[in-house]
A and B are shown apart, each in its own frame.
Chain A
Amino acid sequence: MASTLIIGIGTTGLNIIEEAQQWHYEFTGKNKPDKNVEYLFFETDLNAKPKTTPLGTSDIKEVYIDLKRHDATIHSLREDANVDNEWVPDVEQLLFAGTGAGWMSSYGRLALWDSTNFMRVHSEINDAYIRINGDSNTKIIIVGSLLGGTGSGLCVDIAYLTRKITNNSNVEGIFLLPPEVMNNIDSEKLKLNAYSALAAIDYYTNIENKYSVNWPNIGKLESKNPPYKYIQYLSVNFFDATSQLNFDELLKLAGLTLLLNFIDSNVPNINLIRDQINAQRVNGNEHHNTIGLKMIQYPVKQMEELFALNESKIILNSWIDKTHFFDHGIKKEISAIDSIINNETPKDIENIIEKSFDVLKSIKGPDNLMLFENLNSNIDNIILKNTGTYKIPAYIYSLFTTTLNSSYYHIFKNNSYLLRDSIIYQIIEYIDKKTDDYENIEVSKKFLKAVVDGFKNLIGFYTQNYKIQINGLSWDNRLKEIIEMLLADKTKYVLINQKKEFYSFLFTEIIEYLSIYTLVFELDKIIEAIEGGSTLKTIQRSELPTFELLEKFTDIVTKVINSDEKNTKSIKRRLREIENVLNDDKIKLIFYVYNYGNWKTDFKKAGETYASMPNKPKTRDLTISSLYSYLHKISKTNNDDLYSNFVGKFVQEITSRSLFSNIDIIHIIQNLDNNSIRNVELKNLYKANCQSIREKLPPLVRIKTTDEFIIASNALLYVFHDKVIGNNQGILPNCQPAPMQHAYIDTPSFKDVIIFYQEYGYMGNSNGVDRFYKPLVNNSFVDLYKRDILKCFNSTAKMKHVPYLSEKEFKNNYLK
């Protein structure tokens, strides 16, 4: 099984991997092929987090190489005579921890040279390579943008370091080039970053220049080989178009280009796309190229996700609905359960209290005997008159008073947590059950309120009938009264020879009073906690349900449905994203087609199919555990978990139901009407001959008007789909496979899609020498950038933005 290690550098590197992961999900339903592919990304900005796919998971392993200790790193590197430190930048006071490399290449490079970061990167690459069973056939692809500080700062070091760690020279790159025109205030910095990164790559790609670096941890690393065997460059600028791509589409295309390197690499006995493309790149002098790419897709997965999002929203909304709940699919008013609450809760509370009292029976008395055994020995003492100097009432009083530390009072007080824990567990169980039964947090709140009211009534009852008040002193007073009251009947029972039974009864009565006293005290604390006091937890850390907690659940669910906050996943935002993509007519190179003409109709039809289906997913199918414990667990982490877990599960449910028809994309294209320009364009592309298709795939870089990409005689036009129509015939009517002209490649996962792919790198033959694309020579932005950089280039700019080349090397080779 061919293995691939993908390394993203910087936020754009992450974005490209995210897109590749998303594409992989859309084509296969999984985030990556198998254990043979690993996604890693190195980032200086701690805020950059990998996006999840609709499955609710991400397989991208983030490795943060923060610059928190950049000043210490700079000092230690500068003081270490054994490392190359000429390039090490000054301590930059404006650079704060966690904010990335501050758009300065030198700080991006510096992040890797920090010894802790270096060891982390080293071990992550090593471990990932082991996990994929890396060998000489393994491909390592480094992706990113050359504009930011991290990407431009790491692009050379990380390539050499990876080669060293893995002992594998199959290191390739996919990098985004800067646009021709940049209008933001930091454009000078970005231009310098990109230009210096391209210069560094170019410099070390030249076999006359040796990469020789003394690393802080692994010592000298020398190489005469280029850092990358091959690099593909993409930019928002078309070769021959006046308009440009939007950045999101460029990321999608870069992700797709990356995907072509590992799609179906877990399928045995298959001709990998990458192997077939590599076979055409026979010329060893060609190190850089760009691509032309177009894609026609029936976006089933996007629509499935959209559908799942809508259905999830309905369920999540029902959880937090303040006026209605669903009873076996029937919508009912929450106020309708008031009578149920009034009838059921008092009985339930009685059970809770009864069970809680049971735990007190396990308490041990002062003689370390079980409570009632201990009491029996006290009774014997009274009957046998072994009460010391005490008279009987005083003796009984001494057993239960607050003033003696060994009294039953203190034993109960010290063990009152047992009673409290038991009540908390039972309230959790109760609210858990009610939340599961009604699947509505507002209803759960009502039941919790009923519990609180029930407890208050109970306290009122005990206070009135048992005359118990919650404070230590009053217990002693009450104890005296109780003993006096009970002993009033003493003579009666002595007369009938029932002394033992009588004292047993007397102690039982006092214990009951003491239990109630303890209970009232604990109930008071529990009520206070439920109503907004400090959180109460059991010894096992189970948390008492409170109104605040239930409110938090509501907030979490509300946020997941409606949040617009940055860096928060929400259904609203994702719905908008998908709808924008499906509605966007400005996307230039990705075409969406639908079975019923537009996504809304396809969506409606799927809705009708779904409505007629039995056994729709229920909350329990999606939450697995009970709803209360599910929400409780999620409230301890973050909102994203609810989104990922719940929506992810729902997407899987919807996917398994095949709501969107399995119609062949060719059939859809053939049946497109001519009502829109886009449909016409699509049909033309489908019906075009090979030459016309090539012309419709412009290279994704803009080169100088004096230069020209030449379609080499061995350069193939690739058409990727999941099958070749009978007898090795192509799927396009007017462009059939021909040797050295174009190839149809079938790979099982490209089911609802046709991808047209053309590589551009050859630039003709001049005086008997083949010329190949070089970004710093051919790109149209080079002259503009050079002019701007020359205006602002000085030693400070060099220190911040040109970490790999000396000032002299940079100026002489790249600024003249």
Chain B
Amino acid sequence: MFDVFFTLWVTDLLSWFIKLIALTASVLFVLYLVYITWLKAEKTKKPFPVHSKKVFLKAIILTTVIYNIFWFLVLKYNGMYVFEWNKFEMKLSNTYFLILPILISYLILAILFFLTKSRIKKLV
């Protein structure tokens, strides 16, 4: 389990897939937890749909911060030498391929952020 989240290296494609699924799912799970906690904590007189979407935006930002901390810990554990930025080989050891699950998680957060933002705009 530790390796799934904290080790960058993968030995096979299946492990990479597991990593991809686990990372994105955990990001969404963290986001959900932050969201409902925040929603419970913050009371408002604003219309509920607007309020919930605003809280969702804030939850995305907080989740990103949490995810950054996680990303920092990953870097600290694996060291910077694992990254070979000037190579692009079609192998499992390709740096870009290895960090793709993390990038996808960030991308999902970004998409959710902009989608929610546009929905709020429509509601208001």
B116 sits at the interface (CB 8 A): no
- Complex interface: chain A residues within 8 A of B32 (CB): 496
Instruction: Give the one of A496, A497, A502 with max B CB within 10 A.
Output: A496
Contacts of A508 in B (CB 8 A): 47-48
Q: Does A415 interact with chain B (Cβ within 8 Å)?
A: no
CB-based contact B39/A496 at 8 Å: yes
Enumerate chain A residues within 8 angstroms of B40, measured Cβ to Cβ: 497
Q: Does A457 contact B (CB under 8 A)?
A: no
Number of A-B contacts (CB under 8 A): 25
CA distance A456 to B35 in the complex (A): 43
Please, which residues of chain A bring their CB within 8 A of the CB of B47? 505, 508
Distance, CA A505 to CA B47, complexed state (A): 7
A497 touches B36 (CB 8 A): yes
Any chain B CB within 8 A of the CB of A504?
yes
How many chain A residues sit at the interface, stated as a range, is 10 to 19
Asked if A501 is at the interface (CB within 8 A of a chain B CB), the reply is: yes
Contact check, B52 vs A496: say whether CB atoms are below 8 A apart: yes
Is the Cβ of A489 less than 8 Å from the Cβ of B39?
A: no
A402 to B118, CA, bound (A): 38
CA distance A498 to B55 in the complex (A): 13
Q: Using CB atoms, name the residue of chain A closest to B43.
A: A501
Interface string of B3-21 (1 = CB under 8 A from A): 0000000000000000000
Q: Is the CB of A493 within 8 A of B52?
A: yes
Could you mark each residue 498-520 of chain A with 1 if its beta carbon is under 8 Å from any beta carbon of chain B, else 0?
10011011001000000000000
Query: Shortest beta-carbon distance, B51 to chain A, in Å?
Result: 8
CB distance from A488 to the nearest CB of B (A): 12
Quick check: A496 and B48 within 8 Å, CB to CB? no
- Contact across chains for A501 and B48 when beta carbons are under 8 A apart: yes
Main secondary structure of the interface of A (DSSP, over half): helix
In Å, the complex CA distance between A514 and B48 comes to 19
Q: Are B48 and A505 in contact (CB under 8 A)?
A: yes
> Quick check: A498 and B35 within 8 Å, CB to CB?
no
Among residues 33 to 47 in chain B, which have CB atoms less than 8 Å away from a CB atom of chain A?
35-36, 39-40, 47
CB distance from B32 to the nearest CB of A (A): 8
Instruction: Specify the chain B residue showing the minimal Cβ separation from A489.
Output: B49
Give complex CA distance A501, B32 in Å: 17
CB distance from A334 to the nearest CB of B (A): 39
Q: Are B48 and A504 in contact (CB under 8 A)?
A: yes
Contact: B39 with A502, CB < 8 Å? no
Please classify the interface of chain B as helix (H, G, I), strand (E, B), loop, or mixed, using the class held by over half of its residues.
helix
> CB-defined interface of A96-135 with B at 8 Å, one 1/0 digit per residue?
0000000000000000000000000000000000000000
Residues of B within 8 A of A504 (CB): 48
**Interchain CA distance A501-B45 in the complex, whole Å:** 11
Roughly how many angstroms separate A497 CA and B48 CA in the complex, as a whole number? 13
A496, B28: Cα distance in complex, Å: 13
Contacts of B52 in A (CB 8 A): 493, 496, 498, 501
A14 to B35, CA, bound (A): 90
Identity of the chain B residue whose Cβ is nearest the Cβ of A502 in the assembled complex: B48
Kindly list chain B residues whose C-beta atoms are within 8 Å of the C-beta of A489.
Answer: 49
Residues of B within 8 A of A502 (CB): 48
Contacts of B49 in A (CB 8 A): 489, 505
Residues of B within 8 A of A501 (CB): 39, 48, 52
Q: Which of A458-502 contact B (CB under 8 A)?
A: 489, 493, 496-498, 501-502
Give the docked Cα–Cα distance between A501 and B41 (Å): 13
Q: Please give, as numbers and ranges, the residues of chain A lying within 8 Å of B39 by CB-CB distance.
A: 496-498, 501
Residues of B within 8 A of A493 (CB): 48, 52
A796, B39: Cα distance in complex, Å: 105
- Complex: how many Å from CA A323 to CA B103? 72
Output the least CB separation between A515 and chain B (Å). Answer: 15
Q: Please report the C-alpha to C-alpha distance between residue A176 and residue B47 in the assembled complex, in whole angstroms.
A: 86
Q: How far is the CB of B68 from chain A (nearest CB, A)?
A: 24
Chain B residues in 8 Å Cβ range of A505: 47-49
Which residues does chain A contribute within 8 Å of B48, judged by CB atoms?
A: 493, 498, 501-502, 504-505, 508
Q: Shortest CB–CB separation between residue B13 and chain A, in angstroms?
A: 33
Q: How far is the CA of A191 from the CA of B36 in the complex (A)?
A: 108
Complex Cα–Cα for A497 and B36 (A): 7
A706 to chain B, nearest CB (A): 106
Report the Cα distance A505→B52, complex, angstroms: 11
Closest to A504 in B: B48
- Least distance between B116 CB and chain A CB atoms (Å): 13
Scoring B residues 40 to 80 as 1 if CB is less than 8 Å from chain A, else 0, what string do you get?
Answer: 10000001110010000000000000000000000000000
Instruction: A582 to B39: give the CA distance in the assembly, Å.
Output: 88
Instruction: Give every chain B residue within 8 A of A497 (Cβ-Cβ).
Output: 36, 39-40
Closest chain B residue, CB of each to CB of A496? B36
A508 to chain B, nearest CB (A): 8
Question: How far, in angstroms, from A646 to B91 measured CA to CA in the complex?
Answer: 102
Distance in Å: Cβ of A814 to nearest Cβ of chain B: 97
Write the nearest CB–CB distance from A618 to chain B, whole angstroms.
46
Known: A497-B40, A498-B36, A505-B48; 11 extra A-B contacts, CB below 8 A, are A489-B49, A493-B52, A496-B32, A496-B52, A498-B39, A501-B48, A502-B48, A504-B48, A505-B49, A508-B47, A508-B48
Residues of B whose CB lies within 8 Å of any CB of A are 32, 35-36, 39-40, 47-49, 52
Q: List 25 A-B contacts (CB under 8 A).
A: A489-B49, A493-B48, A493-B52, A496-B32, A496-B35, A496-B36, A496-B39, A496-B52, A497-B36, A497-B39, A497-B40, A498-B36, A498-B39, A498-B48, A498-B52, A501-B39, A501-B48, A501-B52, A502-B48, A504-B48, A505-B47, A505-B48, A505-B49, A508-B47, A508-B48
Among all A-B residue pairs, the 7 with the closest Cβ atoms: A505-B48, A496-B36, A501-B48, A497-B36, A498-B39, A496-B39, A502-B48
